[in-house]
Amino acid sequence: MPNPFAPLQPALQTLATEARVLPATGQAIVDLVLPDLEEAYDRVTGGKDENVTNLWETPKRQLYHSLTPIPRRENHLFRYFLDGSTKTYFIGTVLEHDRSSPVQLAQVGAAAVFREDNGRLHRAAVLHKILLMMDHEALSEQLWKQVEDALAGNPQIELRSSASTNIYNKSLGIIEPRARGAHRANWAMREMEISLAKDILQRSNDEWLVHDGSLGTEYMGWDGAPLIGVAKSFRRDVTFLLGTGPRAKQLNLYSLLAGLKVNHRTAVFPRWPGQDREGAIVFWYVRIRPQKGLDYPLMGVIKVELPNPKKEPVDSELVDLISSCLIGERTVTPYGRDSRWHAHLYPISQAERVIKDRFYSEEVLKAAIKWPEFGINI
């Protein structure tokens, strides 16, 4: 097999020639994103506080709703399933006079699968990209331009600045360069997911798309094919202030979900309460697995988000249908392969496998990339 990272070698040669490089000790090191990406994004896009005071559906007004699972054979509601993935590696540090920057390599991708009437899944679209990341602000413009030129003509590898501000590192106050790089790669993944969602919009005949993760502000005003976001991890600092007078309730998320039985959903709530965009995206929680045998109340629960550009209360029957069909997707799970197996939907896990199968293994990466100055694998 030809070296998949060969187009990267001119850029590494430039860095090794024009500056001093300290290779990562022990070869490439995986950089993790902390805190959890989905939870962080949900918290950031919802604001510092999310005190929910209203229900956002009609005609039902109770807090919990019983559901009957609807399998695909009864109602094939969901057709497209979209997920993304990223893996970031620290491969060294570049020194330029009194300046320095971590050098990171990220594999980023997104994939959508389509399900036929007989239940078979096939790839609908895949995007995959390799990012070379350094702190643009910490290096000279001359060195940056030389690396940029070295990568010219290689569309599969893109140079990006890990210093670029985005909704993650700006709101979470991420300062450490390597952590910023890992979040920057995840933002690139989100951009790919949005691109695929829009692409599916062009080909879909009003067929529902399930997007893995929180929808966030980029889906406000969505007027395309019907779409929901399903988050396995979500913010935990939401407070629910419901009702008035002696019957008023104040619940935190844990107490709300502790009372949520399997095959039940909560009421629908608006995002951005008290703001002019209140209700532009609505959300609710569905318990797809019983609490018995799970570690804590949030396990076995998914958060569902729905774009609502008219900002009007959504129809309870539609919410029941979406929720019941989601419960029907729970049967096969990647138990043991993912710590969030309890909240996985099978087609989403398959979309994730599609993109991860495109990623090169760490063994390939370590064997294929070489810092020219040292003549040894990084």
* Strand runs labelled E in 116-183: 121-134, 157-161
Distance in angstroms (rounded) separating the CA atoms of residues 215 and 190: 10
Q: Across residues 47-61, what is the average pLDDT?
A: 85
Query: The tokens of 241 are what?
Result: 């202030």
d(CA 39, CA 5): 33
pLDDT of residue 114: 95
Chain centre to alpha carbon of residue 244: 37
Q: For residue 377, is pLDDT > 50?
A: no
Six token digits for residue 252 = 């935190």
Is the pLDDT confidence value at 235 over 90?
Answer: no
> Has residue 378 got a pLDDT over 50?
no
pLDDT above 70: percentage of residues in the chain:
86
- Cβ-in-10-Å burial (0-12, 13-18, 19+) of 162 comes to buried
**Contact criterion met (CB below 8 Å) for 64 and 265:** yes
pTM of the shown model: 0.87
pLDDT band at 87 (very low <50, low <70, confident <90, very high): very high
Q: Answer with the residue of higher pLDDT: 32 or 214.
A: 214
The predicted pLDDT at position 331 comes to: 66
Considering only CA atoms, which of 153, 131, 106, 133 is closest in space to residue 15? 133
Q: Give me Rg for the CA atoms of the chain.
A: 23
Q: In the structure encoding, which two tokens stand for residue 28, read together?
A: 């490439």
**Cβ–Cβ under 8 Å, residues 356 and 85:** yes
The secondary structure element, H or E, covering residue 40 is helix 37-46
* Separate counts of helices (H) and strands (E) for the chain: 9, 20
- Within 8 A by CB and 6+ apart from 226, the residues are 206, 207, 208, 209
φ/ψ (deg, to 5) at 28: -60, 140
pLDDT at 238 over 50: yes
pLDDT tens readout for residues 267-322: 999 998 888 889 999 999 999 988 876 666 678 899 999 999 999 999 999 999 99
pLDDT digits (tens, 9 = 90+) for 142-200: 999 999 999 998 888 999 998 766 655 565 666 777 888 888 888 899 899 999 998 88
Taking the CB of residue 263, how many other CB atoms lie within 10 A of it? 18
What's the number of CA atoms in the CB half-sphere (13 Å) around residue 167?
A: 19
Res 155: pLDDT:
82
95-152 confidence digits (pLDDT tens)? 998 889 999 999 999 999 999 999 999 999 999 999 999 999 999 999 999 999 999 9
**pLDDT reported for residue 162:** 86
DSSP state of 271: S
Asked if pLDDT for residue 33 goes beyond 60, the answer is: no
Tens of pLDDT, residue by residue over 56-86, are 999 998 999 999 999 999 999 999 999 999 9
Residue 206: its pLDDT value, please?
81
